[in-house]
């Protein structure tokens, strides 16, 4: 049987013999919103857990955090009507005092070409800021109860009214994205992100979990300290269309949209498989190796004890993080990397190497990618053709059970 899986901006076709026990996991099919702009206008009229814009005190400045191009959030669709509502609500507000901060956390700040792809052409004179976690001016806004320093890009932190736009998606240790995450990670300092993510090994820090998840709880508290007043959150279908859209208090929205995400992308784990084929879901989920790693979380959870994993990730923008590359190149095997990581002070970038090695130390892992063999090997990964790899594995075990994850970056399994 032929299976077509997303890969970059295109697709891959894999042939698996009919004799194999194949289970295909694909997100639930739901109808996207027929008129997302109408839903957005209605949600702005009656936000959940916070006042409507026109009922808030008139600010002298506004900041809007938006994601970079690693997230398929519909910025070009939703940002123009949001700006229209802001200027209608506050007619004396100078356009340059509305700051649009493009936040990607520790990702490289977007250049002009990337900004052109991310943002609509007409920004009505608003100021655009590319967040740089290493070099942007920051404002210290206190500490969370877990000791995380809340350090936010000054262009955002200094605004009177703070808004965040983002999508709610399963996250391998935050539980779910969304809420204030687009600010307290997207627009945060490297020190803040590092401290928050240092909790990723906690047993409650896993995909789909919001209960007593220290990473997520820390972010929620940081969002309050940062003063984020309004979130615009969406859930996207696998085809990158809006399935749900809510406006309101960041924490209030999170549980509602997490449940909607669970219904689309969550699967009860009833068994394990000999072979797992994991597609990230295409671009931008497999835009670089750093992003593609997220597919391995769902893959490892459904792979058997000796299960093999084939990861499909184009990685058109390469490895994606110098800190990750600089750390992983110090090792020749996954076991020594894992031992070193656990003994050292937590470091961003190194954590991504840990997450890769956690899987590769337990499972045979092969990567079908546009990365060079040298780049893959530098990251302790093996590059090979997907069909050739499958044929080899199935020749050794013709009746192997195979799980195919069509959107592994977004999907998650629960017991």
Same domain, yes or no: 204 and 290: no
C-alpha–C-alpha distance, residues 241 and 72, integer Å: 9
**162 located within any domain:** yes
Q: List the structure tokens of 61.
A: 């400045």
Residue 31 per-residue DSSP state: P
**404 located within any domain:** yes
Tell me the DSSP string of 317-382: T-S--HHHHHHHTT-SSHHHHHHHHHHSPP-TTHHHHHHHHHHHTTSEEEEE-SS-HHHHHHTT-E
Among 264, 299, 315, the domain boundary falls at 264
Among 215, 241, 264, the domain boundary falls at 264
**232 located within any domain:** yes
In this structure, the strands spanning 401-405 and 21-25 are: parallel
Same domain, yes or no: 136 and 65: yes
- Tell me the three state secondary structure of residue 184: helix
Q: Assign residue 20 the CATH number of its domain.
A: 3.90.226.30
Same domain, yes or no: 81 and 135: yes
- Which of these, 372, 398, 387, 385, lies nearest to 19 by C-alpha position? 398
Per-residue pLDDT tens, the chain, 415 aa: give them: 899 999 999 999 999 998 899 999 999 988 999 999 999 999 999 999 999 999 999 999 999 999 998 888 999 999 999 999 999 999 999 999 999 999 998 888 988 999 999 999 999 999 999 999 999 999 999 999 999 999 999 999 999 999 999 999 999 999 999 999 999 999 999 999 999 999 998 999 999 999 999 999 999 999 999 999 999 999 999 888 999 999 999 999 999 999 999 999 999 999 999 999 999 999 999 999 999 999 999 999 999 999 999 999 999 999 998 999 999 999 999 999 999 999 988 988 899 999 999 999 999 999 999 999 999 999 999 999 999 999 999 999 998 999 999 999 999 998 8
Same domain, yes or no: 296 and 394: yes
Among 206, 234, 264, the domain boundary falls at 264
In the numeric block, the tokens 């790693």 are attached to 293
**C-beta of residue 167 within 8 angstroms of C-beta of residue 178:** yes
Cα(first)–Cα(last) distance of the chain, in Å?
29
Same domain, yes or no: 292 and 215: no
**100 located within any domain:** yes
Same domain, yes or no: 191 and 168: yes
**224 located within any domain:** yes
**395 located within any domain:** yes
Same domain, yes or no: 213 and 71: yes
**C-beta of residue 383 within 8 angstroms of C-beta of residue 371:** yes
380-408 burial, b for 16+ CB within 10 Å, e for fewer? bbebbebeebbeebbeeeeebbbbbbbbb
Same domain, yes or no: 354 and 395: yes
Same domain, yes or no: 255 and 273: no
Q: Assign residue 80 the CATH number of its domain.
A: 3.40.50.11440
Same domain, yes or no: 246 and 392: no
Residue 116: domain span? 36-264
The total number of structural domains that make up the chain: 2
Reported as half-sphere exposure (CB side, CA atoms, 13 A), residue 293 has a value of 25
Same domain, yes or no: 275 and 358: yes
pTM recorded for the entire structure: 0.86
Residues 6+ away with beta carbon under 8 Å from 388: none
| Angle at the Cα of 185 from the Cα atoms of 149 and 220, rounded to 5 degrees | 70
**31 located within any domain:** no
- Which of these, 124, 386, 142, lies nearest to 279 by C-alpha position? 386
Same domain, yes or no: 282 and 401: yes
C-alpha–C-alpha distance, residues 196 and 216, integer Å: 9
């Amino acid at each position: 049987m032929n299976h077509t899986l997303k890969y970059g901006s295109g697709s891959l076709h894999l042939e698996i013999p009919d004799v194999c026990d194949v289970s295909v996991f694909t997100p639930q099919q739901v109808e996207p919103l027929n008129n997302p702009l109408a839903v957005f206008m209605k949600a702005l009229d009656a936000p959940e857990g916070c006042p409507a814009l026109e009922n808030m005190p008139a600010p002298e400045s506004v900041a809007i955090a938006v994601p970079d191009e690693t997230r398929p959030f519909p910025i070009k669709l939703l940002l123009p009507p949001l700006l229209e509502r802001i200027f209608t609500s506050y007619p004396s507000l100078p356009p340059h005092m509305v700051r649009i901060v493009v936040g990607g956390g520790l990702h490289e700040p977007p250049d002009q070409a990337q900004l052109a792809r991310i943002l609509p052409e007409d920004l009505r004179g608003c100021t655009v800021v590319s967040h740089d976690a290493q070099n942007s001016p920051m404002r210290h806004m206190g500490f969370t109860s877990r000791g995380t320093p809340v350090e936010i890009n000054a262009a955002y932190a200094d605004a009177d009214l703070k808004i965040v736009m983002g999508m709610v998606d399963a996250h391998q240790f935050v539980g779910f994205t969304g809420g204030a995450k687009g600010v307290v990670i997207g627009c945060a300092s490297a020190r803040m992100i590092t401290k928050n993510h240092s909790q990723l090994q906690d047993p409650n820090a896993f995909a789909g979990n919001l209960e007593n998840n220290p990473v997520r709880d820390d972010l929620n508290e940081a969002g309050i300290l940062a003063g984020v007043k309004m979130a615009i959150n969406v859930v996207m279908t696998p085809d990158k269309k809006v399935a749900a859209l809510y406006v309101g208090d960041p924490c209030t929205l999170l549980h509602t949209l997490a449940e909607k995400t669970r219904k689309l992308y969550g699967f009860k784990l009833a068994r394990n498989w000999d072979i797992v084929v994991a597609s990230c879901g295409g671009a931008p989920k497999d835009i670089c190796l750093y992003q593609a790693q997220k597919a391995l979380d769902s893959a490892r959870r459904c792979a058997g004890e000796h299960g093999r994993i084939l990861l499909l990730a184009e990685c058109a923008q390469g490895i994606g993080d110098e800190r990750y590359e600089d750390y992983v190149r110090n090792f020749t095997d996954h076991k020594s990397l894992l031992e070193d990581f656990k003994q050292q002070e937590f470091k961003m970038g190194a954590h991504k190497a840990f997450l890769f090695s956690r899987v590769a130390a337990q499972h045979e892992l092969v990567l079908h990618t546009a990365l060079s063999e040298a780049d893959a090997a530098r990251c302790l990964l093996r590059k090979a053709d997907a069909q050739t790899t499958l044929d080899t594995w199935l020749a050794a075990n013709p009746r192997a059970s195979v799980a195919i994850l069509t959107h592994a970056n977004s999907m998650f399994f629960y017991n």
